[in-house]
Structure 1
Amino acid sequence: MFPSLPFYNQLEENVYHLCKKLWTRGTEGQGSDLFVVFISNEKKQIPLWNQKASQRAEGLTLWDYHVICVEKKEGDSPLLVWDLDSTLQFPCPLASYVSEAIKPSIQLFSEFQRFFRIVHAPIFLRSFASDRRHMKDSEGNWMYEPPEHDPIVAEDGTVHNLNEYMTMSAADTVKAIEPQLVNAVRSQKLGVLIGETQLEEFFSLLS
């Protein structure tokens, strides 16, 4: 049904370095709040549209997981999505991204339902680590050319915790979007996990 991509990619590293650049820009007076969003599910099969990796006209791709950054600027500016793999406007207003990349209007089979792990970028930049083991085969050989920059090590010395961010199940998603979730996402290492239809509702709490 969907064109698929392999598990070994470095979306999380690309978004990590993007967030570092955006965060530095913000501390220079621009004023913004950044959130890293991991998208996946139990089966590691999540469809997104308007993706560069796709060979279809509609840009449909089945990712094992995907990672984006959502930016909330000061004032009444719309929330922005930074998706390095999207063919949409870059950055793209959240509402447009949801409509054109996530396409909630399309009814999916349960195995393709998407979950969203939202992590506050300052916590992510301190806590995330990847030694790229997911990019190697069982014999330790690279399945995909690794990035030139050094692997990411967390402030506490952790060298790999990517699986913690990617592990998602319906049982762990929040049951209702409530104001206290904003405090939770700004204080918890793994943020909050929300369901298929709750992304815009969660970010509306920041307004």
Structure 2
Amino acid sequence: MSEENVYRLCKKLCSAEIADTENSDFFVVFISNDRKQIPLWHQKASHRADGIILWDYHVICVQKKENEKSSQVWDLDSTLPFPSPLASYVAETFRPSFQLFSEYRRFYRIVHAPVFLRYFASDRRHMKDSDGNWNAQPPTYDPIVAEDGAVHNLNEYIEIHSADVVPAVEADLVNTVKRERLGLVISENQLEEFFALPTCAT
């Protein structure tokens, strides 16, 4: 449900004027990989002291404020400060120095928040078993329907593969993210590089 929580968070932050709805400095980041197995630390759902858990996918917000060097991460499932500076969030949550087997390497789909709010849709079918029964109690609020009438496209966002990673982070990629419905996919070592681009807030 991290995708719906992030959707509602973006709406709330925009209504509170923490972010502008159209010229937003918010980006939605989907995290997954080919095998749908990504380790993250400091997660509330973990039963371990270090907070590690293996998600199939996870969704966070990253805010790149104009005239500020440090981006902020809004992760509703994290035990870290809310929000957290991007650099410390990456260090604590992804543990880049921790050597992972290749099948656990994380990749990141970055979508501009205004685009996400217009086009994302979920009827929560992924929360049901093969017989149509709920695996967990669904939220009481209505499912998300996109402006174009789509009722479910979550799979398009969480299908994140190593083959889709852009070869290099360049300034014009920011415009791509702001234009494309599904944004773009980057590798972990490109994440901070992308949000360091000065044009992220333009």
TM range (shorter): over 0.9
**What's the CA shift for 1:19?**
0.4
Task: Tell me the secondary structure at the aligned position of residue 16 of structure 1.
Answer: helix
| Cα deviations by residue, 1:159-203 (Å, 9 ceiling, x for unpaired) | 000000000111111011111110000000000100121110111
What is the match of residue 189 of structure 2? Answer: 197
What is the match of residue 25 of structure 1? Answer: 16
Task: Tell me the secondary structure at the aligned position of residue 130 of structure 1.
Answer: coil
Letter aligned with residue 15 of structure 1: V
Are the counterparts in 2 of residues 182 and 206 from structure 1 also a CA contact under 8 Å? no
**What's the CA shift for 1:27?**
7.1
What is the match of residue 52 of structure 1? Answer: 44
CA distance in 2, matches of 1:120, 1:174: 16
Structure 1 residue runs of 4 or more that deviate by more than 4 Å after TM superposition:
none
**What's the CA shift for 1:22?**
1.1
Provide closer, same or farther for how the CA distance between residues 16 and 116 of structure 1 changes in structure 2, counting only shifts above 3 A. same
Alignment match of 2:172 (pick from 167, 180, 198)? 180
Are the counterparts in 1 of residues 41 and 92 from structure 2 also a CA contact under 8 Å? yes
CA distance in 2, matches of 1:159, 1:135: 15
| Cα deviations by residue, 1:51-103 (Å, 9 ceiling, x for unpaired) | 00111111101000000000122322521100000000100000110000011
Are the counterparts in 2 of residues 79 and 93 from structure 1 also a CA contact under 8 Å? yes
Provide closer, same or farther for how the CA distance between residues 124 and 28 of structure 1 changes in structure 2, counting only shifts above 3 A. closer
What is the match of residue 68 of structure 1? Answer: 60
Matched pairs, number = 198
Unaligned runs of 5+ in 1: 1-9
TM-score for both structures, normalised by structure 1: 0.91
TM-score for both structures, normalised by structure 2: 0.94
Unaligned runs of 5+ in 2: none
Letter aligned with residue 98 of structure 1: V
Whether 1:12 aligns to 2:3 is yes
Are the counterparts in 2 of residues 40 and 116 from structure 1 also a CA contact under 8 Å? yes
What is the match of residue 133 of structure 2? Answer: 141
Are the counterparts in 2 of residues 32 and 72 from structure 1 also a CA contact under 8 Å? no
